[in-house]
Structure 1
Amino acid sequence: MNFRPDINGLRAWAVVPVVLFHFGVAGFSGGFVGVDIFFVISGFLMTGIIVPALTGSVAKPFSLWRFYLARAMRIWPALMAVCSVVLLLGWFGMTSLEYESLAKHVKSSLLFHSNHVYWREAGYFDADAHEKWLLHTWSLSVEWQFYLILPLILMLIWRLTHSQRALHASLWLGLVVSFGASLLLLSLKPSFAFYGLPSRAWEMLAGGLVFMLGSAQLRPVRRAGLIEALGWVSIVGSVLVFDQHWAWPGWFALLPVLGACMVLAAANARSWLSCHPVAQWLGTRSYSLYLWHWPVVVALRYADVLSEPWAVPLGLSVTVLLSMVSHRWVETWGRERLSRLSWQGQTSALVGASLLLVSISAFVMAQRGVSTRLDPAIERVAAEQGNVKTRRSECLTTSGAKSPACVHGGPQVAAVVLGDSHADAVTTAVAAASPTGMGVVDLSYTGCPVLFDTKYVETHASDNKDHRCAAFQLWVESYLQGVPRNVPLVIVNRAAAYALGPDYPFDGSLGRPVFYFDKFHEVASPQYLAEFANRLTQSICRFAAHRPVYVVKPIPEMNQHVPKFVARGMILGQDRQVSRPLAEHLKRHAFVIKAYEDAQKNCGAKLLDPYPWLCPGGLCAGMDHGMPLYHDDDHLSERGNRRLVPMFRSMFAPARDL
């Protein structure tokens, strides 16, 4: 195909929003749509390579292997450079847990199935995803999977029909099926819908159809100009309007996809938006810009400086510099050197280099991150993120409407612990506090506070469609009918998070409720918080009508993943301390504590106050004698929950006295 400056400039309009979105620059909340634009461009170009060669419109016949080799020469060298650099940096700057995870991601990126790995680990917009150094390679995996399949299908159809109309129809059929799959998966498995080829192929097929249709129908030029203008409005509007809370992809993705299709169809080689020298410069380096920007973002977050005013300008500058070096000395120089080899030599060089990196990654994984690289003190701190109760995977409910009702401690039941993952985190402390020979029943359910009649706000970040919190509360009521009424119920909730959103300073979901009741609320208004608190009180009293109920005031939340944050600081030579003022914690949870106090007043529920043990002197500590008390940012570890044993022991004092 002849060089199209408008396509090169459109690449710039795809990569710049993505980069600025990831750096958190205001005004680019929908910058992630740049990936959708890249998919449209890829579909257009790949169809433009395959179809003319199949149909004889160009002199050289289509070669499947040479097609794959050309794609590998384009994608692999710069990708291998990025993977090599992050592996090298990780050797000196990552704990064994993080380095093992990085090696897994390097391997999956080079073998082009990282999209499958990431959808199983975290949603693209989840906080955990922000620490994955190669998260952005999911889109390369999707494209490569598309490159593998598209020519095979088109070759088969052409061999059977020798009809361009059949090729055209097959693209339309694929688009309709893929778009339907996108809508279906978005309701069933949103994370897979975001990362998966079945729900993304339609975007690339849309670009392919633009090539098949051509631009003849856009003449006269006035019509082409109007369509181009509508395309740019769609693209810019998508970047400005959408944000991470929109379900993606699906109906909304039509706007940037159609916008990119219209710009491609217009084929305006003199567009001031795409053919400007700056757009051309950025478009030429768009692949390297895309590859290098995300590791820079993660590095700034790793060093805990991304929120500093100088961090984003520095990060953008480093990204541009790295992309210039990568484009000149990896993409261009590497392609020139490879082009001098025979196709067998090109294949051997690319596959050999990739397999070398894959082998290194496999070694790191086999050695569990090679823990001997770092000071053992660092590894001990980092290992606290795994310091959870030994039966957690067995006993913490994550789906369905029933609990395994594990018993911790002795066989005779001294108490029942009910609540979400914060309840799970303290269950063993309750068991340790119970009278000798007695134990506690564990009814913990992740993401499920003690609230009746809730409706879960579905988001793209949740793939668990069998999460049935409301049904679980009804099951608990039924289960407790078989437990003697003198056995107390201990309630532990991370209640505020369901009303206000996770307490991350960089998380856009702050203030967006997770649950609603009769009426959906977009934000946690005062009216919503009042309703939430009232429902919380009523739910506690519903249980208190049948047995003694003890409610633990909200466990303090840290603003950092404590083990990771402190261990990284040790690697960087920093003495990081994690704490939070009790007053700040109480302010965030005031409406929850008020609900608990109302339950105490209305139905005799008893409150357990963890703050004398967790927040002495008015400061809630995340560390004790150099070791984390939390296994993440808000869940107490097995080390941390032991601080609460005296509090829970007071609950059993009458039984001990007897």
Structure 2
Amino acid sequence: MINKLKFNKELHFLRSLSILLVVFFHFDLLNFNGGYVGVDVFFVISGYLITSIILQDNNFKFTSFYFKRLKRIYPLILFIIIFSLILANFILSPIHYERLINSSQYTAFGLSNLFFFYESGYFDQEKLFKPLLHTWSLSVELQFYLIWPVIIYFINKFFYKKLLIIILLLFIISLSLSFLYSNRTDAFFYFTGFRIYEFCIGTIAYLILNKKKIKPNTSLFYFGLVLIFISSIYFNENSNFPGAIALVPCIGAFLIIIFKLPKSNNLNIFENKFINLTGNISYTIYIVHWPILIFYTYHFMRFPDNLEKISLIFIIFLFSIFLNKYYETPLRYGKVKSKFQLSNLYLFAIFFSCILSIQFSKENIQKPLQNNFYENEVIKTVFDGRDLKNRIEDAIYEKNMKINPADIKKDSINIVIGDSHALDFYLALTTLNQTEKFKYYDFDYFYCFNKKNFKDRIINTLNYKVLKRKNSCEIALKELNMSYISKAKNLIISSRWNRDVDFTQISNYFNVSNQNKIIVINGHKFYDIPTLYFKTKSNVNNFAKNLLKQNYISLEKLNFSEKKDLKFFDKTPLNCNPKCLVFKDGYLLYSDKDHWSMKSMKYFGEQIKANNFFKLVK
């Protein structure tokens, strides 16, 4: 027989600690660069709690469990959707308002992690345009709540003696998948399957405590606390996450749950009023803090300074206390009026109000905003240019398919090779009557030349040698027309570089004649320039200047090694010296955050020439 579920001070403490880490991370306070691990600790807590609820209730009913979970989670989710839609009407641009509506629909049905999985990564700059991005973790929780009771209930019913072994097996499978795929793309950050092992850790903690009494251990408790703090400080946005390293904070939470603190040595941390208050409203804080930060940042087009951060956090705490007392708690613990609770009726009413709000926003707010946005002459020119650029790229691709390398004289051309950024550079060169000297070759696979660590080599061995999967990099490199590329006097390579790229590998691969010069083109990025313009009009250049420094990947950060056959050309001085020019003579120089607009090609061509690019290609 399992004892009745008691209030767990360790879990309450972990809730408080986790939400503080997440808030400090999002507000960029106190150097908690890995504060996002607070979410992983929350998953461990959920695994423990849900398992205990299922196994301790001899009369467990799925319908009762699911409805209680919905009443715990959904009122605030639905509130924040409606709150965000109303506020966004006055703040967001039409493009981002449309994305908010789309994400709202997924969030309302507990699927926002899938929406953001397909859209982009958690750590990219676009996160500052997504007021509901943080709801991905709530969707993971809801999906976990959907499947975990079924798994635990039936394993416990039919394989009771093997419950711990089966959970350990699920832990290993989920951890292995997370290890294999976490470094492929940031999108996997949102995938529920790669988080199951974190819930399993909480489940394992409960099963251990249920089987035997564990004596409090001060050293192991504080060691667990140290693991959480170390990961929250030393992890960062470049860490492969979740992956195996997510075990560090999860094991920390596990140790705190298992070993507790002796009553004589708890330093009153469990009785601390602030910690208890924060633990009580941790979910409310999590729901409201991110949209408030995003709307503030978006409205002023800059990140808040330290005084503003502290003020915002104080407001968030007050708002959370108010919501918890007058909205969340009454809905969760409504008095019984009949067999069907009044609070349940409220929940349904809020849900349908949320759906109606989304639909109303779509029909009556989004469309008029879009009309104002796209009918703006400056922005219309940008989007017309995007369509033209796509047609030009298609035409160049068709032309390149017909090239016979035998017809090309050695060293008679320079090839600009890379992705859409390389196309921008090539189109700017064509405005200088350089069409015969420069050619464009589309290649989107420079990530194949990223540096490989021990983990990467293990994953590649498993994927391509053991599992015999197709290697996209091998296929792409085989399809390269090296006979054509080898005729180039100079290769000009441009891409949206990442920090792991190895230019030595690129040089060794493309410098087939040992005489070619390879010129690496680097650049910078801003917030979406059409959006900035729509909000600030002709003042957009001042905002662009404020955003340059934090979004520029420098030569040093790219680990660029100066070699005889490897040169570097930085695009930054073309329009930033030091003030950034993104709006000139009534037109925008950028069509998004880092691509040149078609209207700006002549300007950038002149700047390329003025900045001595042609001395590099002699």
Q: TM (normalized to structure 2)?
A: 0.78
- Secondary structure in 2 matching 1:369: helix
TM-aligned CA distance change 1:267 to 1:143, over 3 Å: same
Separation (CA, whole Å) in 1 of partners of 2:285 and 2:386: 43
1:370 aligns with 2:374: no
Q: Which region of structure 1 is more displaced relative to structure 2, 362-371 or 257-266?
A: 362-371
1:24 aligns with 2:28: yes
Residue from 241, 245, 248 that aligns with 2:241 = 248
C-alpha contact (below 8 Å) 1:578/1:623 kept by paired residues: no
Corresponding residue for residue 149 of structure 2: 151
- Secondary structure in 2 matching 1:214: helix
Q: Shift of residue 489 of structure 1? A: 7.0
Q: Deviations over 1:81-100 (max 9, x none)?
A: 11111110111222211101
Separation (CA, whole Å) in 2 of partners of 1:378 and 1:211: 59
- Secondary structure in 2 matching 1:124: coil
Corresponding residue for residue 195 of structure 1: 190
C-alpha contact (below 8 Å) 2:445/2:473 kept by paired residues: no
Q: How does 1:373-522 map to 2 (within 5 A)?
A: 375-376=372-373, 386=383, 389-390=386-387, 405-407=397-399, 417-429=416-428, 442-446=440-444, 448=446, 454-456=449-451, 468=473, 472=477, 475-480=480-485, 491=492, 493=494, 498=497, 512-515=499-502, 517=504
Separation (CA, whole Å) in 2 of partners of 1:84 and 1:457: 45
Corresponding residue for residue 218 of structure 2: 225
Residue from 37, 43, 48 that aligns with 1:44 = 48
Q: Deviations over 1:433-488 (max 9, x none)?
A: 6699x998642334739xxx94446899xx9996749964992422447xxx6x98
Corresponding residue for residue 209 of structure 1: 204
Q: Deviations over 1:253-290 (max 9, x none)?
A: 22211111222223558533344221111000100111
TM-aligned CA distance change 1:94 to 1:469, over 3 Å: farther
1:128 aligns with 2:126: yes
Corresponding residue for residue 591 of structure 2: 631
- Secondary structure in 2 matching 1:85: helix
Q: Shift of residue 368 of structure 1? A: 9.4
Q: Shift of residue 431 of structure 1? A: 5.8
Corresponding residue for residue 614 of structure 2: none
Q: Shift of residue 108 of structure 1? A: 1.2
TM-aligned CA distance change 1:226 to 1:174, over 3 Å: same
Q: How does 1:63-462 map to 2 (within 5 A)?
A: 63-159=61-157, 161=158, 164-187=160-183, 189-214=184-209, 217-219=212-214, 221=215, 223-268=216-261, 270=263, 271=266, 272-302=268-298, 303-337=300-334, 340=337, 342-343=339-340, 346-362=343-359, 364=361, 369-372=366-369, 375-376=372-373, 386=383, 389-390=386-387, 405-407=397-399, 417-429=416-428, 442-446=440-444, 448=446, 454-456=449-451
TM-aligned CA distance change 1:392 to 1:151, over 3 Å: farther
Percent identical among aligned pairs is 23
Q: Shift of residue 196 of structure 1? A: 1.2
Q: Shift of residue 205 of structure 1? A: 1.6
C-alpha contact (below 8 Å) 2:16/2:282 kept by paired residues: yes
TM-aligned CA distance change 1:27 to 1:339, over 3 Å: farther
TM-aligned CA distance change 1:608 to 1:517, over 3 Å: closer
C-alpha contact (below 8 Å) 1:418/1:489 kept by paired residues: no
Q: Shift of residue 146 of structure 1? A: 0.5
**Structure 2 portions without partners, runs of 5+:** 464-469, 611-618
TM-aligned CA distance change 1:137 to 1:428, over 3 Å: same
Separation (CA, whole Å) in 1 of partners of 2:172 and 2:565: 54
- Secondary structure in 2 matching 1:198: helix
C-alpha contact (below 8 Å) 2:205/2:258 kept by paired residues: yes
C-alpha contact (below 8 Å) 2:18/2:39 kept by paired residues: yes
C-alpha contact (below 8 Å) 1:20/1:31 kept by paired residues: yes
- Secondary structure in 2 matching 1:148: helix
Q: Shift of residue 142 of structure 1? A: 0.6
Q: Shift of residue 421 of structure 1? A: 2.9
TM-aligned CA distance change 1:590 to 1:621, over 3 Å: farther
Q: Shift of residue 19 of structure 1? A: 0.6
Q: Shift of residue 23 of structure 1? A: 0.6
Q: Which region of structure 1 is more displaced relative to structure 2, 171-180 or 96-105?
A: 171-180
1:561 aligns with 2:528: yes
Separation (CA, whole Å) in 2 of partners of 1:200 and 1:396: 40
Separation (CA, whole Å) in 1 of partners of 2:529 and 2:154: 55
Separation (CA, whole Å) in 1 of partners of 2:576 and 2:227: 55
Q: Shift of residue 293 of structure 1? A: 1.3
Separation (CA, whole Å) in 1 of partners of 2:531 and 2:170: 44
Separation (CA, whole Å) in 1 of partners of 2:122 and 2:153: 34
Q: Shift of residue 143 of structure 1? A: 0.6
Amino acid at match of 1:238: S
Amino acid at match of 2:280: T
Separation (CA, whole Å) in 2 of partners of 1:478 and 1:194: 40
Q: Shift of residue 543 of structure 1? A: 7.6
Q: Shift of residue 140 of structure 1? A: 0.5
Separation (CA, whole Å) in 2 of partners of 1:23 and 1:100: 25
C-alpha contact (below 8 Å) 1:4/1:269 kept by paired residues: no
Aligned residues: 580
RMSD over aligned Cα, in angstroms?
A: 4.7
C-alpha contact (below 8 Å) 1:371/1:379 kept by paired residues: no
Q: Which region of structure 1 is more displaced relative to structure 2, 630-639 or 421-430?
A: 421-430
Q: Shift of residue 347 of structure 1? A: 4.8
TM-aligned CA distance change 1:351 to 1:425, over 3 Å: farther
Q: Deviations over 1:591-642 (max 9, x none)?
A: 99x9999779xxxx9x999899x54998652112343211233321122224
C-alpha contact (below 8 Å) 2:16/2:279 kept by paired residues: yes
Separation (CA, whole Å) in 2 of partners of 1:466 and 1:404: 27
TM-aligned CA distance change 1:340 to 1:92, over 3 Å: farther
Q: TM (normalized to structure 1)?
A: 0.74
C-alpha contact (below 8 Å) 2:335/2:341 kept by paired residues: no
Separation (CA, whole Å) in 1 of partners of 2:35 and 2:561: 40
- Secondary structure in 1 matching 2:312: helix
TM-aligned CA distance change 1:372 to 1:120, over 3 Å: closer
- Secondary structure in 1 matching 2:152: helix
